[in-house]
């Protein structure tokens, strides 16, 4: 029978090994994202192809009827949502279903 410290050490080694694997995978994803950004640094127009290559998905949240606002999240290929630290991009548009202007915040 193994002593308790050996069992804990084995578990800790497995946890650390998983963390290393995750960090290695994340690093590879960031490198792919940087290569993609470099590819599109001089882009002159948005096309269906380059948008779908660069953006993984866009989530549009439900409308908050009290404040007439909604949150929009953009998830980029390989890295997910990027927090630039900047203020969210705001836009206002008329929403026919409720007959009022709605503020959208893209983060």
What's the pLDDT score for residue 79? 75
pLDDT at 6: 64
Confidence of residue 37 (pLDDT cuts 50, 70, 90): confident
Return the percentage of the chain with pLDDT > 70, whole number.
90
Q: 3-state DSSP call for residue 106?
A: strand
**Phi-psi label, residue 80: left if phi above 0, alpha if psi -120 to 50, beta otherwise:** left
Mean pLDDT of the region 84-88: 71
User: Going by C-beta distance under 8 Å and a sequence separation of 6 or more, which residues neighbour residue 99?
Assistant: none
pTM of the predicted model as reported, rounded to 2 decimal places? 0.54
For residue 2, what pLDDT band results from cuts at 50, 70 and 90? low
DSSP H helices in the chain: 4-39, 48-54
Domain residue ranges in the chain: 1-39, 43-107
User: Once rounded to an integer, what is the mean pLDDT over residues 63-84?
Assistant: 82
């Amino acid at each position: 029978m193994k002593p308790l410290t050996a069992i804990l050490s084995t578990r800790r080694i497995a946890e650390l090994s998983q963390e290393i694997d995750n960090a290695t995978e994340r690093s590879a994803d960031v490198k792919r994202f940087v290569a993609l950004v470099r590819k599109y640094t001089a882009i002159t127009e948005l096309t269906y192809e380059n948008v779908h290559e660069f953006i993984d998905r866009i989530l549009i949240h439900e409308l908050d009827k009290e404040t007439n606002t909604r949150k929009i999240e953009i998830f980029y290929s390989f890295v997910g949502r990027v927090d630039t630290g900047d203020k969210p991009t705001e836009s206002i548009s008329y929403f026919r279903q409720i007959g009022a202007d709605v503020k959208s915040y893209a983060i």
